[in-house]
Amino acid sequence: MLRNPFILALVTVVGIALAEAPARAQTPGVTATEIKIGNINPYSGPASAYGSIGKTIGAWFKKVNDDGGINGRKITYITYDDAYSPPKAVEMARRLVEQDQVLLIFQSLGTPSNTAIQKYMNAQKVPQLFASTGATKFGDPKTFPWTMGFNPSYEAEAHVYAQYVLKNVPDAKIAILYQNDDYGKDYLKGFKAGLGEAAKKIVLEQTYEVTDPTVDSQVVNLKNSGANVFLNVTLGKAAAQSIKKAHDIGWKPVHLLNINSSSPGLVLKTAGLDASRGLISVFYLKDPTDPQWKNDAAIKEWVAFMKKYYPDGNADDANNVYATLAAQTLVQVLKQSGNDLSRANVMKQAANIKDLSLPLFLPGIKINTSPTDYHPIAQLQLVRFDGERWAPFGEIYDARGK
């Protein structure tokens, strides 16, 4: 038996320290009262129009905190500008992980920026969660288990367009404009795969760089190819320019516009609503400008949220609905994680979402993930712009084949 008072005291102190060790060994970014979430967004540069996504996310987290937080913890949201520059994104990711000590990086925007930080995030074993991109490589759990995208797969979306062309344009001559990076090439790959042997109907492909001041010359070249189908894989300013230019030069092909540029408030109004008439795209969320949702309870609540928490934001911009859905999905994952907010458990919960139906989704759209399926949104609805709104047509397409 130990009888020396000094030794007894020392043993007691050591015992207490060992007992407290697990409690002190908190996951970075997590305390009893706080969860630190990092974000990277282009608040400046060629894709600055999408900066509103980062701001809407911050507004939603403010609402969550006002409503009591998540399991007693409040969200601290730290967001930085990368100006849509991959090297800058790497710098910001390192700052968030190594200096700010965030739990995870959420909704970093854009394929180039997410590509630049993907290896680093996985080497650090820090979740790169619900990245704002639909590039296929952000749904590859075997190679990158710490990375999960949020948007529908670009390849899956392109398959929908290919099937539409095959069924509805038998004499198709196809022209394609795409951003010269992984984002654009993913669409191109998916579209060609969807066309199969009919890919020989592609008569011209044109690319552009995000730094190009205009895409007018590319659109003129596409029209001159004699194409009657136009797959438009552009973003922001380039999207508005391409839509307007096609209209101005009298080119009226079957115009397929990627979902990332389908916002009436952000892109179509800039291009001109009349110039945008007849565009075909896909949707999975409720368009706040669509009259059919005027009296929808979810849209009414969302508009009230915008007025209170982000009054400078554009309540006509579907990208802000998208941002809200992404934030709501992360909140669901954090709630599922309970008090085990280790990075590993957060990723485990993100990979185990079952039939999550959020009010701002179109009816029938649900989020599902599994340890082998890192593409949360796989259901898409074809829509056509009638000059005022996107009108759904056809059935919901499920990329999972269900």
Structural domains of the chain in order of their starting residue, each with its CATH number? 34-152+295-371 (3.40.50.2300), 154-283+383-398 (3.40.50.2300)
Assigned token pair, 100:
């700010």
DSSP 128-158: EEEEB---GGGG-TTT-TTEEE-SPPHHHHH
pLDDT at position 397 is: 84
Antiparallel, parallel or unpaired: β 379-385 and 390-398: antiparallel
pTM: 0.80
The CA distance from 276 to 278, in Å, is 6
pLDDT at position 21 is: 39
Q: How far apart are the first and last CA of the chain?
A: 69
Assigned token pair, 323:
């941002």
261, 277, 384 from 265: Cα distances, Å:
10, 14, 16
Phi and psi, residue 140, nearest 5°: -125, 75
pLDDT at position 401 is: 57
Q: At what angle do helices 318-337 and 297-309 cross, to 10 degrees?
A: 90
User: Which pairs with CB-CB distance under 8 Å and at least 24 residues apart come from 21-27?
Assistant: 27/103, 27/341, 27/342, 27/343
pLDDT at position 4 is: 54
Question: Which value, to the nearest 10 degrees, does the dihedral of the CA atoms of residues 341, 358, 50, 371 take?
Answer: 50
pLDDT at position 114 is: 96
Assigned token pair, 39:
């974000």
User: Any idea what DSSP says for residue 285?
Assistant: B
Give the number of other CB atoms < 10 A from CB of residue 272: 14
pLDDT per 10-residue tile (average), the chain, 402 residues:
47 43 66 98 92 98 98 97 97 98 97 96 98 92 97 91 94 97 92 96 97 96 98 95 98 96 88 97 91 94 98 93 98 97 98 97 94 94 92 83 52
168, 172, 233, 275 from 165: Cα distances, Å:
5, 7, 16, 21
The CA distance from 196 to 110, in Å, is 28
pLDDT at position 11 is: 44
pLDDT at position 69 is: 97
Antiparallel, parallel or unpaired: β 34-41 and 254-257: unpaired
The CA distance from 331 to 338, in Å, is 11
Q: Where are the beta strands (DSSP E) in 55-157?
A: 74-81, 104-106, 128-131, 147-149
